[in-house]
Structure 1
Amino acid sequence: MHDDEQKEYLEEPLRLFRKKMIPKLPSNIQKRVIGEVERLEELFVDSRAPRFAIIGRRGAGKSTLVNAMFQAPVAEVGAVTAETERGGWHTYKNASQQAIMEVLDTRGFGEGDETRFNQTEEEVWQEALASRYPDAILFLVKAKEVDARVTEDIEQLKKLRKIIKKKHDYLPPVIGIVTQVDELDPVYDTDPPFEKEKIANIEHASEHMKRMLKKHLPEVAGILPVCAYIAFKDGEMVYDRRWKIDELIDFLLEQLPGSTWMQWARITQAKTIQSRIAKTIGKSASAITGGVGAQPIPLADLPVITGIQMSMIAGVAYVSGRKLDRKSMAEFLGAIGANVGTAFAFRQLARSLSKITFPVAGHAISGTLAATATWGLCKAAILYFIEKRPVHEAKEAYKNQSEPPTN
């Protein structure tokens, strides 16, 4: 199934909800629900690959870092294609030839390369940034070179941000990354977790880079030291000496717009990121179903609530990297004892009937039940798709429902 087809499972329920349900809601509920719908639309409808400018001198480890983040040799097997012969943006693709990340070409950065393609570096940047800009800038410096001409590099970095600000009225956050920390003394301590002496030297290098960046660029988002060494054979990982890469991936999520979160979760395959985004989806879906469930419209809201819940489950499956289709959805619902035709629909029917039996209190009760049922489905989906836990654990999470968190 193509990515566009998978996205239909995510987007269609939201479109129907906007068209058919929101106009029926009271204005006070509309405002709250629309905010949650917009959050899901940013994640689902506006979803795109993240864009970075990865800056660093030759040998700073740009390609190695990309491979380490994606746990695949995407930067070494010819999967990078330039959109123009003059450089500019490059698209990294996975084995299925799907775009996973866009990177602004900054070759020659800090190396005095002013003759490339008969253009200055600034002219190349001006051309590349005409149509789009990076979401964030990764500024790479080798651990052994944090005091080598860094000021000059920072000035070029500031120049790049100035161009972006002028063209797009946006200042991308800068993340300083100290690379190749395994090469610091003592030389015999090469494999993480490192010993105290190595850690002390890593911290010293990081603090020095932090002082340099903060002096010239006070708003720098953060400084992170990493070891990104990873080796592949025939496309498979055969050696892994990565250190602090998970922390970097998690930190970058904070700097990226919500429209890139789904793709970031899929391409990095970081479970902490996937679970975090899945919970964000679940909270919004629970707020929506709870708001709708509390309204005096018996039975008419069933397809709408079910649609939002299905979209939520699809979203959790999507961020896990699972191929999304009707079969996988049916497998999940069947595994936890909830399916649209029987137990699942019965729960929703019982919730709606409570409005008829208790015409006042029933509204609030049914709204709470809708929210808790949705959150139970979210927890079960996280266990099933992301954590890959046994079916009985997902089923238990669905049965033992609790109210969704409020923050």
Structure 2
Amino acid sequence: MREDENHKEYLEEPLHLLRKKVIPKLPANMQNNVVGEVERLEELFVDARPPRFAIVGRRGAGKSTLVNAIFQAPVAAIGTVTAETEHGSWHTYTSSSEKAVMEVLDTRGFGEGDDTRFQQTQEDAWASALSTRYPDAILFLVKAKEVDARVTEDITQLKELREAVKEKHDYLPPVIGIVTQVDELDPAYDTDPPFEEEKGANIEEASAHLGRMLKEHLPDIARIFPVCAYTVFKNGEMVYDRRWQIEELIDFLLEQLPESTWMQWARITQAKAIQTRIAKTIGKRASAITGGVGAQPIPLADLPFITGIQMSMIAGIAYVSGRKLDRKTLTEFLGALGANIGTAFAFRQLARSLSKVAFPVAGHAISGTLAATATWGLCKAAILYFIERRPAHEAKQAYSSEIE
């Protein structure tokens, strides 16, 4: 089964059924809360798409190097859809496992606008690229040794690109200034991070200078990041890693991206902190949904829908960790929790629904609380198992401690 079909089966279908079968039966005051959480999960699951960036700067600023540093793989060399730089188009960078995709706007480098080889103007090239989509953010790259070399001219082009996006798509993408190749600043002998005090001061000065230049023209600049993105790959594997500030950059970029791109961003960056953060977001929303549905007064009828949302949550967490979405993955996790816990969980679910009959008023709130608690316990267990790669007994313990 193709992975997009698995998305539908494990991520989308439970939300669709919830909208169709359960939400219309909820009390009006509860519907809005549940619908709001469902919409947020739908943005993550149903509307999921690759993140899109415009990575701009002069030739040699380190655009491909930065992409490889983010992927931790030589994708800029082996995963690019070929395109003519003159005409402006989108490069699709794909991880070697084909589990993650990022789209990058490709136009000629800044400072090449008057190149007589090109028949199109820079503005026409941008218009062509922006006709179908727009970047979620613009990364403006400047070499550390060149932060005072013709930067004003480049910033003018940067503003024009941003305004072109605004005019075409009514969206003003955030701009992140990135000072690249900071390892080349003086002193020359200090090449490996963490850098010593003298080089650190030079890095800070270069970053501050670029920040001042940008804010003169773009007062709402998101942030300036000095980075070193140098890596060496052999046979597709990283054999030398001199990255610095890359983790901080990708964490900051998560804040700039729409949630519809978060799952792909987690798989691209392979950053546990980002994976965990997204997983907890999924878990909190799933808990709110199951808590709301669990409190509704239809004994037993909510069981399959709550279970469906919980399975969708587990599948989402497995996906952001880099795992394939298939029945084997879910079965593996549920098996890791153990048959005893699985049986106990089934009885708890049954008791939770029957509590509505025994306690017609208070029972609803108790039922909803137990459903939300069990869902959050499963979230914690899934994070340990899929993202932290912890042993099965630790995942089981995390689940047990939450519900007992």
Provide TM-score, normalisation by structure 1.
0.95
What does residue 3 of structure 2 align with? 3
**In the TM superposition, what is the alpha-carbon distance from 1:96 to its structure 2 partner?**
4.2
Q: Is the 8 A contact 1:83 1:89 kept in 2?
A: no
For the structure 1 residues 265 and 245, does the alpha-carbon distance in structure 2 shift closer, same or farther, using more than 3 Å as the test? same
**Aligned pairs for 1:221-370 within 5 A:** 221-337=222-338, 342-370=343-371
> Which is further off, 334-343 or 55-64?
334-343
Structure 1 distance, partners of 2:180, 2:280, is 32
For the structure 1 residues 402 and 191, does the alpha-carbon distance in structure 2 shift closer, same or farther, using more than 3 Å as the test? farther
**In the TM superposition, what is the alpha-carbon distance from 1:249 to its structure 2 partner?**
0.5
**In the TM superposition, what is the alpha-carbon distance from 1:325 to its structure 2 partner?**
1.3
The share of aligned pairs that are identical, in percent, is: 80
What does residue 56 of structure 2 align with? 55
Q: Render the CA deviation track for 1:64-90: whole Å, top value 9, x for unaligned.
A: 000000000000235333389834111
What does residue 67 of structure 1 align with? 68
Q: Secondary structure at the match of 1:170?
A: coil
Q: Secondary structure at the match of 1:81?
A: coil
Structure 1: runs of 5+ lacking an equivalent: none
Cα-Cα RMSD: 1.8
Q: Is the 8 A contact 1:136 1:172 kept in 2?
A: yes
Q: How many residues align?
A: 403
**In the TM superposition, what is the alpha-carbon distance from 1:310 to its structure 2 partner?**
0.4
Structure 2 distance, partners of 1:186, 1:402, is 57
What does residue 394 of structure 2 align with? 393
Structure 2 distance, partners of 1:378, 1:285, is 9
Structure 2: runs of 5+ lacking an equivalent: none
Q: Secondary structure at the match of 1:274?
A: helix
Q: Secondary structure at the match of 2:323?
A: coil
Structure 2 distance, partners of 1:299, 1:237, is 52
What does residue 102 of structure 2 align with? 101
Q: Render the CA deviation track for 1:30-65: whole Å, top value 9, x for unaligned.
A: 100111000000000000101110001011000000
Q: Secondary structure at the match of 1:118?
A: coil
Q: Secondary structure at the match of 2:24?
A: helix
Q: Which amino acid aligns with 1:3?
A: E
For the structure 1 residues 97 and 160, does the alpha-carbon distance in structure 2 shift closer, same or farther, using more than 3 Å as the test? same
Q: Secondary structure at the match of 1:103?
A: strand
> Which is further off, 350-359 or 137-146?
350-359
**In the TM superposition, what is the alpha-carbon distance from 1:186 to its structure 2 partner?**
1.1
What does residue 31 of structure 2 align with? 30
Q: Is the 8 A contact 1:330 1:339 kept in 2?
A: no
> Which is further off, 104-113 or 218-227?
104-113
For the structure 1 residues 32 and 240, does the alpha-carbon distance in structure 2 shift closer, same or farther, using more than 3 Å as the test? same
Structure 2 distance, partners of 1:98, 1:277, is 17
Q: Is the 8 A contact 1:337 1:343 kept in 2?
A: no
Structure 2 distance, partners of 1:143, 1:89, is 27
Q: Is the 8 A contact 1:94 1:100 kept in 2?
A: yes
What does residue 20 of structure 1 align with? 21
For the structure 1 residues 11 and 340, does the alpha-carbon distance in structure 2 shift closer, same or farther, using more than 3 Å as the test? farther
For the structure 1 residues 41 and 340, does the alpha-carbon distance in structure 2 shift closer, same or farther, using more than 3 Å as the test? farther
For the structure 1 residues 365 and 116, does the alpha-carbon distance in structure 2 shift closer, same or farther, using more than 3 Å as the test? farther
For the structure 1 residues 83 and 38, does the alpha-carbon distance in structure 2 shift closer, same or farther, using more than 3 Å as the test? farther
Structure 1 distance, partners of 2:76, 2:199, is 29
Structure 2 distance, partners of 1:317, 1:140, is 34
Q: Render the CA deviation track for 1:172-217: whole Å, top value 9, x for unaligned.
A: 0000001001111111110111111111111111111111111110
Q: Is the 8 A contact 2:175 2:223 kept in 1?
A: yes
**In the TM superposition, what is the alpha-carbon distance from 1:338 to its structure 2 partner?**
6.2
Q: Secondary structure at the match of 2:132?
A: coil
Structure 2 distance, partners of 1:267, 1:339, is 36
Q: Is the 8 A contact 1:72 1:237 kept in 2?
A: yes
**In the TM superposition, what is the alpha-carbon distance from 1:115 to its structure 2 partner?**
3.7
For the structure 1 residues 304 and 282, does the alpha-carbon distance in structure 2 shift closer, same or farther, using more than 3 Å as the test? same
What does residue 383 of structure 2 align with? 382
> Which is further off, 125-134 or 86-95?
86-95
Structure 2 distance, partners of 1:338, 1:190, is 54
Structure 2 distance, partners of 1:388, 1:83, is 42
**Aligned pairs for 1:200-239 within 5 A:** 200-239=201-240
**In the TM superposition, what is the alpha-carbon distance from 1:276 to its structure 2 partner?**
0.4
What does residue 189 of structure 1 align with? 190
Q: Is the 8 A contact 2:71 2:95 kept in 1?
A: no
For the structure 1 residues 106 and 87, does the alpha-carbon distance in structure 2 shift closer, same or farther, using more than 3 Å as the test? closer
Q: Render the CA deviation track for 1:102-143: whole Å, top value 9, x for unaligned.
A: 111122322334445411111111111111111100000011
Structure 1 distance, partners of 2:185, 2:12, is 49
Q: Which amino acid aligns with 1:194?
A: F
Structure 1 distance, partners of 2:222, 2:79, is 32
For the structure 1 residues 177 and 338, does the alpha-carbon distance in structure 2 shift closer, same or farther, using more than 3 Å as the test? farther
For the structure 1 residues 14 and 245, does the alpha-carbon distance in structure 2 shift closer, same or farther, using more than 3 Å as the test? same
Q: Is the 8 A contact 1:88 1:104 kept in 2?
A: yes
Q: Is the 8 A contact 1:80 1:93 kept in 2?
A: no
Q: Which amino acid aligns with 1:47?
A: A
Q: Is the 8 A contact 2:86 2:108 kept in 1?
A: no
**In the TM superposition, what is the alpha-carbon distance from 1:382 to its structure 2 partner?**
0.3
Q: Secondary structure at the match of 1:242?
A: coil
> Which is further off, 269-278 or 109-118?
109-118
